[in-house]
Structure 1
Amino acid sequence: MVNLKHFTALTLASLLAGTVNGEPLIVESFESGDMSATNEAGFDWGSNNRTSVVTADAVVYNNGEINVAKPSGRDWNPKHGEHSLRFRYPAGGYMAEQRFDLGAAYEELWLQYWVKVPINYYHGQTSPTNHKFLAIWMDGYSQKGQGSTVVWEFWGNPDGSSRLAVSFNGGDAGVSEGHQQHHDFISPADQGRWMEITIHLKASSDNSTPDGVIEMWRRWENEPSSERTQFHKRTDVLLSKPSSGAQGWKAGYFMGWSNSPYSKDTEWLIDYITISEAPLLNSTGLSAQEGGNPPNPPVLAVQK
């Protein structure tokens, strides 16, 4: 069994793995203190766009190493280790986004990560109220590519709570559908809580067969891993691949544009991201209440 303190020390850089025996493509908990994570396929983080790597006490990376003390009234305690990725939406601001490139394309993809609800969360009230949460695509985002794009967005209610919905662009061979399967997501009562998000995407077997898969689950950190709640499930959609280039899911972004800005400075944290071709529903997660341990590291990145 992995000792959690020893594991944390080892992950000063992100954990790497191949796809042999269902091992993750990459596990990233920002313990390198920067955005240098990569793997054999060439995984790469984009530039920080109102995002930064933080410890509980300071900003340590924003398109370069820095050291800026945490202002008072903030909570940057990570889910795992000593670092997490902060998304800062200033009051009235519209954008905080972190892009990534998987380095290779995958017909089937699983993504699991932890998100901390802002400690002062209250959904903006101007119309339209949708905020981007997560987007994943093949050769180009939305209409910019021939392949498919899937986007999760959350929509506001008058009481400051939010509903999460999913939409997809089926690519040139498919169709674009509106937001669907709206599900109660978070509310001001959830301020400061960590939740685990699990995503499953599978491209259609060919560009004429509607057997593509879109699935999403959520659980709060005090819930056992066996009780993840499924928000979205479509197994009958056409998620077509482009005629050339990326033959599967290749890139995406976390968070993103907010159509209904927050009235106060609002910060999200993301931590412990696992990306895999193999299912992740059997993972035990990191909840201390469950006594869970992170997975054994198959290969370690070069440490700084």
Structure 2
Amino acid sequence: MAHLKHLTALAFASLLASTANGEPLIIESFESGDMSATNAAGFDWSRNNRTSIVTSEAVVYNNGDRDVAIPSGRDWDPKHGEHSLRFRYAAGSNMSEQRFNLGGAYENLWLQYWVRVPINYYHGQSSPNNHKFLSIWMDGYSQHGEGATVVWEFWGTSDGSSRLAVSFNEGEAGGKEGHQQHHDFISPADQGRWMEITIHLKASSDTYTRDGIIEMWRRWENEPASEREQFHKRTDVLLSKPSSGPQGWNAGYFMGWANSPYSRSTEWLIDHITVSEESLLDSAGLKAGLSGNAPNPPVLSVSK
């Protein structure tokens, strides 16, 4: 059955490209109901790879418009608005991943988004048990690029909990540093909770200077922004730019390969993604005008 998309001022905000006055490069809350969000630099979502846009009631987009009712026993309530991006790991399956291209290349990059712990979360118990969480690179992922790559992965424990660590490839001018700064991340007791992730990456000033920055913070829903907990901090790393191609952070993917498959179908939700060249640490998590406190915007309805 055809569904009705509501293109609101909120959805339009996901297409913003202005960096003037510290405005974000893009804010994406999936309120367009598809993967069309872009900006002047050419931000672009890749095809859905076991991901889909959902409302609390249905799948509405998966490489094309859909109208598939939510199965019983699921919970797709978004963090913000009416939509979120679902990552589905079928029982025994290793993959669910959403790639993106930032369009431009940014030496100093901030990324902030909300992610919900699956309602039945329990880390897989086979070995190896590391799962991808977030990866960002310049001209190519890991050894496929001349520039640097940074990867966050979470590792399982015997009680179904997970610890988050970061690793990075310095680029062709350097080497690779393995997983480090392991930090307690989530447990089965956190099932269904939303958390805000904030990432800061700064490329090295030149090919050989170890002044690159990797930082990551987490706070749970209902915790004040002032209480974000920093999991990872390195300010002395080599994150070299390629000799040609994107001169900064250019692409990445959310979630990805899970080495230790979940024993039951497991679904993550991601919502309200903000990308900026300016610090997002003063953000309350939802930008002004997108928090629900602003006057209701006019609504344009488009039949599909």
Fold shared by both chains (TM-score > 0.5): yes
- The 3 A distance-change label for structure 1 pair 99 and 129 is same
Check if 1:43 corresponds to 2:43: yes
Which residue does 1:4 correspond to in 2?
Answer: none
1:21 aligned partner, one-letter code:
N
Which residue does 1:223 correspond to in 2?
Answer: 223
- The 3 A distance-change label for structure 1 pair 294 and 101 is farther
Q: What secondary structure sits across from 2:11 in the alignment? A: coil
Stretches of 4+ aligned residues off by more than 4 angstroms:
none
Residue ranges of structure 1 left out of the alignment (5+ in a row): 1-7, 297-301
> When the two structures are superposed, what TM-score results if normalisation uses the length of structure 2?
0.92
Give the distance between the partners of 2:189 and 2:56, measured in 1 at CA.
23
Give the distance between the partners of 1:167 and 1:277, measured in 2 at CA.
22
Coordinate RMSD, CA, aligned = 1.7
Which residue does 2:4 correspond to in 1?
Answer: none
TM-aligned CA deviation for residue 12 of structure 1: 3.1
Which residue does 1:240 correspond to in 2?
Answer: 240
- Aligned pairs, number: 288
On the 8 A contact 1:30/1:85 being kept in 2, the answer is yes
Which residue does 1:63 correspond to in 2?
Answer: 63
Check if 1:188 corresponds to 2:188: yes
* Cα deviation digits, residues 259-294 of structure 1 (max 9, x gap): 00000000000000000000000001249xxxx937
1:197-216 superposed matches below 5 A? 197-216=197-216
* Cα deviation digits, residues 46-83 of structure 1 (max 9, x gap): 00000000000000000000100000000000000000
Give the distance between the partners of 2:286 and 2:156, measured in 1 at CA.
29
TM-aligned CA deviation for residue 139 of structure 1: 0.1
Check if 1:150 corresponds to 2:124: no
TM-aligned CA deviation for residue 178 of structure 1: 0.5
Give the distance between the partners of 1:211 and 1:174, measured in 2 at CA.
13
Which residue does 2:111 correspond to in 1?
Answer: 111
On the 8 A contact 1:166/1:180 being kept in 2, the answer is yes
Which residue does 2:276 correspond to in 1?
Answer: 276
Which residue does 1:54 correspond to in 2?
Answer: 54
On the 8 A contact 2:42/2:104 being kept in 1, the answer is yes
On the 8 A contact 2:117/2:269 being kept in 1, the answer is yes
Give the distance between the partners of 1:274 and 1:111, measured in 2 at CA.
6
Give the distance between the partners of 2:254 and 2:98, measured in 1 at CA.
5
Give the distance between the partners of 1:92 and 1:18, measured in 2 at CA.
43
Check if 1:101 corresponds to 2:104: no
Give the distance between the partners of 1:157 and 1:45, measured in 2 at CA.
33
* Cα deviation digits, residues 241-269 of structure 1 (max 9, x gap): 00001000000000000000000000000
* Cα deviation digits, residues 194-235 of structure 1 (max 9, x gap): 000000000000011000000000000010001000000000
Q: What secondary structure sits across from 2:77 in the alignment? A: coil
Which residue does 1:136 correspond to in 2?
Answer: 136
Which residue does 2:10 correspond to in 1?
Answer: 11
2:222 aligned partner, one-letter code:
N
- The 3 A distance-change label for structure 1 pair 294 and 208 is farther
1:24-35 superposed matches below 5 A? 24-35=24-35
Identity of aligned residues (%): 77
Give the distance between the partners of 1:140 and 1:58, measured in 2 at CA.
35
